[in-house]
Every structure is written in structure tokens, then in C-alpha cells.
Amino acid sequence: MIRNNRDLEDLQLSGCHNAVDDTSMRLISNLEYLTFLDISYSKTLTDKGLASYNEKTVPLQAVIMNGCPSISSAGLGPLITSCASTLLDFECADCDQPEMKNDLLQKLAVCWNLVTLDVTGCVNIDD
């Protein structure tokens, strides 16, 4: 579907546990008009899939990744960097894995336009 719909602006896949994996994330990272991405509760997405955003610039304004158990704060770096100038809303709630650490907030510090940040339940992130 993604290959045939390159002009997608809004992609809502929340709760589709196995729909978003590393392979599909490579396809998603090539959607040059995508401004809204919700892949919450993607069980099989890992940092390898997020690395698809390395050296890209994308117009994402909202990234919602609640309850994704196989990603880390370090792995989110390429995605955050790729949309740092456009990102308004970032949700990564209920990611209580030990790999989700304070460095997530440091990565988000370059997102000057950020309006909403939700890291509720990320117990390894503190101030």
C-alpha cells in the first residue's frame, strides 16, 4: 500500500501491532509529504527500522509512538533529527524499557517548535 501511495500526509497505524516493522519503516521514511505518523503499540519495530531516517529531512509535525517496546532513546535519534525543524508534537508514552533514557530529552532539545511532549510512563526518564 505505501509503495503505491507516495503522497500520503497522514498515517495512522496505532494498535496494528505487527503492521510496522523495520522493513515497513524503511518505506514510511521515504514518504516525502508525511506530516502525521502514529505507529503506537508497534511490537516489532526496532532501532534498525528507525535508522532508515539517517541523513533524511522529512516534514513530520506529529510523531506518536506510544507503547513501542523494542525501541530505545538512542534509536530515536535519526527520526528526531530528520524532522527537528517541523516537529510540533512528540508522544512516546508507556515506553518503560530500560533503553528509553534521559538522552531522549537531549535529542528533542533541537526541536525548537515542539509544542507537545508526552513521555508519560517512561520510568527511566527523569529531569
pLDDT tens track for 95-116: 988 898 889 999 999 999 999 9
Strands 36-38 and 62-64: parallel
Beta strand 36-38 with 116-118: parallel, antiparallel or unpaired? unpaired
Q: In which band, very low, low, confident or very high, does the pLDDT at 16 lie, cut at 50, 70 and 90?
A: confident
Predicted confidence (pLDDT) at residue 18 exceeds the cutoff of 90 = no
Instruction: Please name the residues in contact with 91: beta carbons below 8 A apart, sequence gap of 6 or more.
Output: 40, 63, 64, 65, 66, 116, 117, 118
- What is the CATH architecture assignment of 2-118? Alpha-Beta Horseshoe (3.80)
52-91 pLDDT tens trace: 999 999 999 999 999 999 999 999 999 999 999 999 999 9
Q: What is the pTM of this model?
A: 0.93
Residue 19 pLDDT greater than 90, yes or no? no
Sequence-separated (6 or more) residues with CB below 8 Å from residue 109 = none
CB atoms within 10 A of CB 37: 25
> In the sheet that 89-91 helps form, which strands lie side by side, from edge to edge?
10-12, 36-38, 62-64, 89-91, 116-118
Are 113 and 59 in contact by the 8 Å Cβ rule? The answer is: no
Write the DSSP assignment of 23-70 as a string of letters.
Answer: HHHHHHTT-TT--EEE-TT-SS--HHHHGGGTT-----SEEE-TT-TT
